Amino acid sequence: MIGAFNLVTPTEILFGRGHIAQLNDRAAKLGSRVLVVHGRNPGRLSGVFESLQSIDIVQALSIEKEPDLQTLMAAIDQGKLLGIDLVLGIGGGSVMDAAKVLAAMLPSQTELMSHLEVVGSELPLSAKRLPLILVPTTSGTGAEVTRNAVINIPEAQRKVSLRDNQLLPDLALIDPALTDNCPRQVSLYSGLDAVTQVIEPYLSSRSNLFTDMLCREAIPKGLRALKQLMDRESEEARDSLAQVSLFGGLALANSGLGVVHGIAGPLGGLCGAPHGAICGALLPAGIAANRDNVIEADQIARVDRVIDWIADVFETSRGQALQRFRQWIVQSGLPGLASIGVTEEHIIPASQAAAGSSSMKANPVVLSTATIEDVMRQSF
């Protein structure tokens, strides 16, 4: 008997090299007065913005890292006065998360804090969001197809989510050409995040037929593409990694994540390190912890299958696969958690917060706080 499952997806996904040429026409069908959310270097996208001849960009917001509460509240207050009828987020995961929040809150009469997890009241959105288009320029988060937005709350030293099905966009437009020649470090960090986000949904206690179909292809494809990109620039590898990132977003939205993201959320709030780098540093030890603790035969087989894919890509044995993977990550430019600002002082508060995080609830097995601490220490 095939198990039941529920799927949440955007209204439309448009994937393919060169498809950014359709953005102007697609946007014009949804609105005319546009808020554009972009990253720290809008010059990279000057040609894209110049092509938007059929819409009026009435507000622009630059997001350089995870959006914080004060920045978003100021943008909401400003945007409410401008008659905005479409939000376009074009950038990395933080940019797209900010765009989701603004599309949801500009029509709303409620306060953003009342809808946030952990620090807020977790109330559902009370108004229909504005039309929303999301266009990723990195291959990592899959935020263009997820129903949550991560917000940094500096005073609480936490990153929390606004979570609602309304955050899924009207159009997710993925053009891998926008990721060409992305800086090496950004490619490594975001690529490791993309790989993590197809491994964890595959191992998840909530995995289903749909997410398994996505992840089985995407895990080895993502590992090979990232390995290739660390050697040389490649359109083929960029295309593959963009697909893996998309598949990861769809998978995590429908089956959850696990220990790596369970730790990464609170740890990022404590130390401010890049999310993808945290995930990449933790991934080998996170896989090992699950392999040491899972009991059910199907779960054991799944973890072993992931390890076998890693072994195949890095041309080693199953027994040496995770060690070799960790060595490759270090050699590629991510020595470990200490290199991105994590200290011993972060371990206990991060592990305690991780134990109760939403991502950890989908891990294939419940891990003790001591085991979570050990995953972090092994990743230094």
Residue labelled with tokens 């014009």: 28
Residue 2, Cβ neighbours under 10 Å: how many?
Answer: 6
**Residue 1 pLDDT more than 60?**
no
Residue 75, Cβ neighbours under 10 Å: how many?
Answer: 22
In contact, 169 and 134? CB cutoff 8 Å: yes
**Which pLDDT band holds residue 348 (cuts at 50, 70, 90)?**
very high
- Which among 157, 178, 199 is the end of a domain? 178
Count the domains in the chain.
Answer: 2
Sheet holding 86-91, edge to edge: 12-15, 171-174, 132-136, 86-91, 33-38, 56-62
Judge if 201 and 253 occupy the same domain.
Answer: yes
**Tens digits of residue pLDDT in 68-107:** 999 999 999 999 999 999 999 999 999 999 999 999 999 9
pLDDT above 90 coverage of the chain, percent: 88
Judge if 28 and 157 occupy the same domain.
Answer: yes
**Residue 304 pLDDT more than 70?**
yes
More confident residue, 308 or 119: 308
Q: Which residues pair with 89 in a beta bridge?
A: 37, 134
The residue range of the domain holding 73 is 12-178
**Tens digits of residue pLDDT in 268-278:** 999 989 999 99
Judge if 171 and 209 occupy the same domain.
Answer: no
Residue 128 belongs to some domain of the structure:
yes
Tell me 22's DSSP state.
Answer: G
Least confident of 110-119, 231-240, 347-356: 110-119
Q: What is the pTM of this model?
A: 0.95
Helices (H), the chain: 23-28, 46-50, 69-79, 93-105, 184-203, 209-231, 235-255, 259-271, 275-293, 297-313, 318-332, 344-355, 369-378
Judge if 165 and 188 occupy the same domain.
Answer: no
pLDDT at 250: 97
pLDDT at 158: 84
Arithmetic mean of pLDDT over the chain:
95
pLDDT at 290: 98
pLDDT at 8: 84
Judge if 143 and 54 occupy the same domain.
Answer: yes
Distance CA 329, CA 283 (A): 10
Q: Under 8 Å CB-to-CB from 188, ≥6 apart: which residues? A: 226, 230, 276, 280, 332, 333, 334
Interval 306-316 mean pLDDT:
98
**Which pLDDT band holds residue 365 (cuts at 50, 70, 90)?**
very high
CATH number for 222? 1.20.1090.10
Pull the structure tokens for residue 63.
């997001």
Interval 50-71 mean pLDDT:
92
Angle, alpha carbons 309-314-318 (nearest 5°): 55
Helix (H, G, I), strand (E, B) or coil at 184: helix
Burial degree of 77 (CB within 10 A; 0-12, 13-18, 19+): exposed
Q: Under 8 Å CB-to-CB from 278, ≥6 apart: which residues? A: 263, 264, 267, 268, 337, 340, 342
Pull the structure tokens for residue 8.
């949440």
Q: How far is CA 349 from CA 275, 277, 360, in A?
A: 17, 19, 15
pLDDT at 4: 72
**Residue 162 pLDDT more than 80?**
yes
**Residue 116 pLDDT more than 50?**
yes
Interval 181-201 mean pLDDT:
97
pLDDT above 70 coverage of the chain, percent: 99
Tell me 361's DSSP state.
Answer: G
Judge if 89 and 209 occupy the same domain.
Answer: no
Interval 224-234 mean pLDDT:
97
